[in-house]
């Protein structure tokens, strides 16, 4: 990154937090696993997204999402307030830029739970981010879970299922892939990824305060 004032190349903040991106098809179980993951890991911050989707029963503004109108969402795009955004199943979803950048700058680890197009944008902007893709055991099981959740009408289920093939075809671009067969199994694997990545972060920081964290070791986990 080039500084406009000095023309010098800016050094990375060596104590910045790590950015984790969790993605995967709708209904695969991301939310279920993350709820347990956050219960066990109090030091990683969840980035609350903004969406134009209507709240489901029990969802709370400012907890699950910031629920906004189409007009307000489009204003956020124009004002460059989002780190990434995507249209998914007829609604907008986006990550609040200020919140995430400030938290990372302060040294906190941040986790985004976003769909695959948004994940790709984040990977381009943050090549060091840690991406985890959750896969279902098979497509029938995915549909069963999506229907079993009873949150979508038939049209929304069909829209979500329609893009699953596309999402699964890109599963190799992520650093880690975890099959959500059993919740406990998948949760343990996510925990192992997090612990491993935390370790490489502190090792890299103590070795060289200016170097970027090496990912080659962790990449072999895929
Ligand atoms: P996502 O956040 O990826 O859209 P959810 O976490 O809402 O998915 O899970 C969708 C449904 O599947 C929920 O009803 C959840 O209880 C169920 N589910 C999640 N993981 C599993 C699993 N490993 N086995 C069976 N059902 C699961
Ligand atoms: P849902 O409507 O089921 O809550 O979410 C639909 C999809 O949008 C999920 O795959 C979820 O991960 C994704 N999503 C949630 N927040 C964001 C976001 O900020 N950006 C993007 N690109 N996707 C998001």
DSSP codes joined into one string, 57-120: TT--BTTTBEE--HHHHHHHHHTT-EEEEEEETTEEEEEEHHHHHHHHHTT-EEEEE--HHHHH
Q: How far is the CA of 79 from the centre of ligand 1 (A)?
A: 35
Would the pLDDT of 104 be above 70? yes
The whole-number pLDDT of residue 215 equals 36
Ligand 1 within 6 A of CB of 148: yes
CB 105, CB 16: distance < 8 Å: yes
- Which of 27, 29, 53 should be mutated for ligand 1, with most atoms under 8 A from CB? 29
Q: Which residue's alpha carbon is at the smallest distance from atom 14 of ligand 2?
A: 114
- Mean of the per-residue pLDDT values for the chain? 88
What value does the mean pLDDT take over residues 44-69? 97
What does the pLDDT look like over 3-22, one tens digit per residue?
A: 333 444 445 788 899 999 99
Question: pLDDT band at 123, cuts 50/70/90?
Answer: very high
Is pTM beyond 0.85 here?
yes
Residue 118 confidence (pLDDT) above 90: yes
**Ligand 1: centre distance to CA 188 (Å):** 16
Cα(201) to ligand 2 centroid in Å equals 27
> How many angstroms separate the CA atoms of 179 and 138, rounded?
10
CA distance 208 to 52: 43
Indicate if the pLDDT at residue 210 is higher than 70. no
The span from the CA of 39 to the CA of 30, in Å, is 14
Tell whether ligand 1 has an atom less than 6 A from the beta carbon of residue 180.
Answer: yes
Assess whether pLDDT exceeds 80 at residue 38.
yes
pLDDT more than 70, % of the chain: 85
């Amino acid at each position: 990154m080039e500084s406009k004032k000095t023309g010098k190349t800016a050094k990375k903040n060596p104590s910045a937090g790590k950015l984790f991106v969790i993605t995967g098809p709708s209904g695969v179980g991301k939310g279920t696993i993350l709820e347990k993951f956050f219960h066990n890991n109090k030091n990683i911050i969840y980035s609350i997204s903004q969406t134009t989707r209507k709240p489901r029963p029990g969802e709370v503004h400012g907890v699950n999402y910031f629920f906004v109108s189409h007009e307000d969402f489009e204003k956020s795009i124009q004002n460059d307030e989002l780190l990434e955004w995507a249209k998914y199943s007829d609604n907008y979803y986006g990550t609040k830029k200020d919140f995430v950048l400030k938290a990372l700058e302060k040294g906190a680890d941040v986790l985004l739970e976003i769909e695959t197009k948004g994940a790709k944008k984040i990977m381009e902007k943050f090549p060091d981010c840690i991406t985890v893709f959750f896969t279902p055991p098979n497509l029938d099981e995915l549909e069963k879970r999506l229907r079993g959740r009873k949150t979508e009408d038939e049209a929304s289920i069909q829209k979500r299922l329609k893009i699953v093939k596309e999402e699964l075809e890109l599963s190799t671009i992520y650093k880690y892939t975890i099959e959500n067969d059993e919740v406990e199994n998948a949760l343990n694997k996510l925990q192992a990824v997090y612990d491993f990545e935390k370790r490489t972060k502190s090792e890299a920081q103590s070795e060289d305060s200016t170097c970027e964290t090496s990912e080659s070791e962790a990449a072999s986990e895929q």
